[in-house]
Structure 1
């Protein structure tokens, strides 16, 4: 009996030692295997620390000086900059999306003769995503239905141009230029974009004030322009604020053709296949203005649809077009 017990104990020990030896062997081999992302992890380990958001020594917005020496202005900016700096997941996605969408926004702003800094308003509004607010504002520039129609966009249950980046950018610039003409300041124009022109005008008159920085206004609008400024600062210097985003990790620009029709579409799913899509999901992602499975077009209006080129489905193809894909965003 005793011999059997000793034998069993020795057998168990031998098995345990064998398992440990095998595990150690594979662990050592795995540890020795070089990783293509080692340099990336080394940078993260070096820079991934908690620190106070650096505030620049000087700052301008649309050519207007921001009075950073004013303690209240500085602290308000610090609040928003710290918030987006440590709102990691959202800010990372904003930086990645900006690689795809910002070139189009910048091009439209330049064509329309608007300040380039206005692009950061779209970031503050939607984080560069086609979102819908609880108040039913939609798209990158977050237009309400009535305002969108006022500025020339078609909005209905079948087609919603608030989701068209170019058309909504044009409408946003018109709104902001009108506000600038009225208030004489781009910071006030941006404030009006948030709270409305009449509401802003009433507050300015009531307080005999002509400066956003000195205006007492509702909490949301009082933080709004500072949030735009914070995105400008961080997106112009992402590494300084701890965001190391490789170019290959960004959302790459997509290549597509455009198909234009001037007839009613009774079955949008069938139509998507006719123009080259195998997936209705991808058709809708490329054409977010489509809001229904049909499009009524009695007036023979021209509607345009994006058809993604086959190569653009491939991440490897898109990244291969980058010259320095391992470099970080500047």
Structure 2
């Protein structure tokens, strides 16, 4: 049985090398940085090249982001799978709205990051709905907000005049908060993101940062960097820690979604990996291609 398993391992390694080398000879034009799938043999090991492919708007960030993405994908696998399931149903609708404002579809994952697709979500800071708008910004973008009462305020009102308080609570419950309306809040979010793209010269990572901490804080970070046209990586250390993680998570979700089949099959490689070849394994060279 041991000998049989050993023989199978050697055979699979040989087959993998032969198949990939042959494919590379057929089409060498598909080689992409961090996206090659070739295997090359050496005396003691073979090297499986990285095969992760970044979405177009995120290309150029591979070197600075890949370690974070790799760690996140290992530690938050369940979260990524759950978000992917939600994305299949909701993101196509979000993308339709983003397209009207000439915004990249990658921004759609912000809704998942904000509320996990829950229109009734309310943050500790008081942000509400699918896109987690605060009252002031929501009203600026034409969304109707329903006044929220704290538990303490409710108790005070009930103590002062129970009958009147209960009637007020019922009336309040009948009001509709536009932040909980998918279409209205998504339209407002697209308008907001479009305005920020104008403010930040279509630097999408800075736009994403501004959605989390406000464009004013991003401008301040840009000034502190001392650079004329700073990127997110230039200003990252001047942004709040939450915003830094927010942008990195934005990159991660988009990269994983863009490579989802390999991710679910445990075949996603972020860096070249050495695979030890068992002793006495003989590789069969692929046939010459004419």
TM-score of the two chains, using structure 2 as the length reference: 0.58
CA distance in 2, matches of 1:218, 1:139: 23
CA distance in 2, matches of 1:207, 1:155: 37
Q: Specify which structure has the bigger relative contact order, considering alpha-carbon pairs within 8 angstroms and separated by 6 or more residues.
A: 2
Rounded Cα–Cα distance in structure 2 between residues aligned with 1:224 and 1:141: 14
Q: What 5-or-longer segments of structure 1 have no aligned partner?
A: 1-53, 245-330
- Aligned positions of 1:94-173 closer than 5 A: 94-130=83-119, 131-157=121-147, 158-173=175-190
1:222 Cα deviation (Å)?
0.9
For residues 132-162 of structure 1, what are the alpha-carbon distances to aligned partners after superposition, in whole Å with 9 as ceiling and x for unaligned?
1111112221111111111111112411111
Q: So what's the TM-score if we normalise by structure 1? A: 0.51
Size of the aligned set, in residue pairs, is 185
SS at match of 2:102: coil
Deviations 1:215-238, CA, capped at 9 Å, x for gaps: 212211111111012111222333
Structure 2: gaps (5+ residues): 1-48, 148-174, 267-290
Residue 75 of structure 1, CA deviation: 2.4
Out of 238, 249, 260, the residue aligned to residue 227 of structure 1 is 249
RMSD: 2.4
Secondary structure in structure 2 of the residue aligned to 1:69: helix
Superposed displacement of residue 105, structure 1:
0.9
Cα offset for 1:77?
Answer: 3.2
The 5 Å alignment of 1:51-90 reads: 57-60=52-55, 63-70=57-64, 73-85=65-77, 88=78, 90=79
Q: Which residue in the other structure is 2:45 paired with?
A: none
Larger-Rg structure: 1
Superposed, 1:243-282 pairs within 5 Å as none
- Once residues 212 and 142 of structure 1 are traced to their aligned partners in structure 2, the CA distance between those partners, rounded to angstroms, is 23
Q: What CA distance in whole angstroms lies between the structure 2 residues aligned with 1:110 and 1:170?
A: 11
Equivalent of residue 176 in structure 1, options 159, 176, 193: 193
Q: From the two aligned structures, give the one with the greater helix fraction.
A: 2
